[in-house]
Amino acid sequence: MVDRRFHEPLVTPGQVTHTFSKQEVAALVAQWLEVFGQDRFGANARAYLWHVFSFERYPSVSGAPAQAAYDQQQAHEYIVLSNDRDLAFTTDQRPVRAMLRDYQVFPPNLAWTMSFTHEDGWLGPYFAKHPQHDRLNAINLAKVQKTRDIEAARRKGWL
């Protein structure tokens, strides 16, 4: 998907594989807040979802440690959710950059989330894990391995 205003890909690397409807975006926001924003009172998460981290309402790491943690994550697909709650899409590769001002990246099972902010370097980015991260991340890694196995089988002509 190319952002027509900038004539650049909406996300790099990778490709947009699905764009969510407005109703699906609202459901994603609700799911994200259910995991990471339960204690958001007073954090003004309506303005910026990542305020749950900057107001220390959910444990996270920020800055370079957040980026390092994010760089280690693997999933079979990634959801990118704009902070304005107008756009969400899936992509086949972990985004390094998106043509959005503030956005969250996470796998479909919300094992973790990375919040990119317009205050990068001062506030954010933020990386946080789901309370059941280890179990959920094991599922993500198994899906990644299955995808690799299928691709290898195709290259060998087995599929």
Selected residue with higher pLDDT from 5 and 39: 39
Rounded CA-CA distance 116/67 in Å is 10
3-state secondary structure of 7: coil
Mean pLDDT of 105-123: 95
Mean pLDDT of 28-49: 90
- Structural domain boundaries in the chain: 2-155
Nearest to 15, CA basis, from 95, 97, 92, 103 = 92
Mean pLDDT of 101-120: 96
Nearest to 35, CA basis, from 66, 81, 98, 102 = 81
Q: How far is CA 45 from CA 48, 53, 60, 89, in A?
A: 5, 10, 15, 21
Predicted model pTM: 0.90
Average pLDDT, the chain: 92
